[in-house]
Amino acid sequence: MRICVVGAGYVGLTTAAALANFGHEVQCVDMEQAKIDSLTQGKVPIYEPGLEKLIRKNLKKDKLHFSSNVIESIRDYPMILIAVGTPSREDGSSNLSYINQVINLIASNIKDYKIIITKSTVPAGTNEWMHQMLVEKGIEEDLFDIVSNPEFLREGTALWDIFHPNKLVFGTRTDRPIKVLKKLYESEKVPYIFTSLTGAELIKYASNAFLATKISFANEIARICDVYEVDYSDIYKGLATDPRIGRYFLNAGLGFGGSCLPKDLSCLKHSASKQNVETKLLDAVMEINDTQIELYLNKLGKALPSLEDKQITVWGVTFKSGTDDLRSSPAIALIKQLVQIGCRVHTYDPMVQLELADVSSYINQYESVIGSDVLIIATEWDQFLKSDWSEIKSRMKGSIILDARNCINAQTVRKHGLLYLGVGKR
């Protein structure tokens, strides 16, 4: 099949590379010329394990092409896959201006039948609205099918996720595109879920809202464990062994961040409230997440009553390990609060050298702790788990280790004369 992927961001690039690898002829377009130039040379602007190799392989096989000529590509390709950004607005709604732009371009350039697939996460009703927009612009319904095909890719394991999906979701208005859609991904054994356009949109939001709910649930239970002096990790084992509960997304810590979970939760709440549906559960999920930093800072404040002017090192700045993505990173929110309190903040991250006012960023894990009163683990990078604690003890001024991801072995830390602090961890 010949497919044009619009948007060479995180989702667009991963999807384009995978589709080319399945044997399709893929043209990935983006309005940013500089991005296209470097991609054409096989240089990928984001960090995703295996992606650059896959892109280079398919460029070489002539299966994948990059272009900034969006109009020509939209005109030439029979299948358009939209993967442009849908950022959050202040009120939680999604900014759909990029989607709007793409639909306008399709409307002005469509000559023959096209399947238009929305990969971007868009609020309930958006794909129906896209269909109506094309109709209102005088495009015959015979000339196109809109399909909603949400992605479920985790950063850091996106290629694994796309090659081993646990389901494929397609929302359509009619049965017409289904035969073609079944040939899109090489995944015959996984369940195919066909539903309406809005149904597919809501599957995506419900999935991310459920994952967020699990995390806030874990965080609330960890708070209860904390006051009863119980290790949340014991509770975790008890929960995770029950297949009805499952073992994923139950790690307690600073809370969820990234470009999807917070944004999608806000957007789902917004879609519900627009139609006067109350979202008490989702509100609570958000509220718990929004107070995790305060919880950890309170914990620290009890051990070190005046934080002002203290030197604090924060390890990990990305929104989770395995990525260089800083979008909605709880670690960054924590760092900003520490700066506001008047702390002198040092940071170290294996992937990113943070550039932020009043923050000193280090390229060496152990140098970043020299003279610090406190070390906070804000992202669970493997490297931190294997730290040399005697080296850290000898370099720090103080002795407090605040484990904000429940990932460090408390006994090991204590053995080296350091004070271990965590929530729901003894």
Please give the residue ranges that form the binding site for ligand UDX (CB under 6 A). Answer: 6-12, 30-32, 35, 83-86, 98, 101-102, 120-121, 151-155, 208, 211, 215, 249-251, 253, 255-261, 319-320
Q: Is 44 or 260 the residue whose CB approaches ligand UDX more closely? A: 260
Catalytic residue among 4, 28, 225, 260: 260
The CB-of-298 to ligand UDX minimum distance in angstroms stands at: 19
299 is annotated as contributing to ligand binding: no
DSSP, collapsed to helix, strand or coil, labels residue 361 as strand
Name the H helices within 275-350.
280-290, 292-303, 330-341
DSSP assignment letter at 191: P
128 is annotated as contributing to ligand binding: no
Tell me, what amino acid is at 155? Answer: E
Name the residue with the smallest CB distance to ligand UDX.
Answer: 9
Q: Are strands 344-348 and 359-362 parallel, antiparallel or unpaired?
A: parallel
Tell me, what amino acid is at 251? Answer: N
263 is annotated as contributing to ligand binding: yes
260 part of the active site: yes
Instruction: Quote the strand ranges of 251-399, DSSP E.
Output: 311-315, 344-348, 359-362, 374-377
The CB-of-186 to ligand UDX minimum distance in angstroms stands at: 20
The CB-of-43 to ligand UDX minimum distance in angstroms stands at: 14
Q: What dihedral angle (degrees, nearest 10) is formed by the CA atoms of 245, 251, 256, 262?
A: 0
Q: Is 152 or 420 the residue whose CB approaches ligand UDX more closely? A: 152
Question: Quick one: which H or E segment has residue 400?
Answer: strand 400-403
40 is annotated as contributing to ligand binding: no
Q: How far apart are CA 23 and CA 128, in angstroms?
A: 30
Q: Is 311 or 323 the residue whose CB approaches ligand UDX more closely? A: 323
Smallest CA-to-CA distance from 403 within 417, 383, 416, 384 is with: 384
Q: Is 163 or 249 the residue whose CB approaches ligand UDX more closely? A: 249
Q: How far apart are CA 134 and CA 99, in angstroms?
A: 12
The CB-of-11 to ligand UDX minimum distance in angstroms stands at: 4
Binding site for NAD(+): residue ranges? 30, 35, 86, 121, 155, 263, 327
Binding site: residue ranges? 30, 35, 86, 121, 152-155, 204, 249-253, 257, 263, 320, 327
Binding site for substrate: residue ranges? 152-155, 204, 249-253, 257, 320
Q: Which residues are catalytic?
A: 260
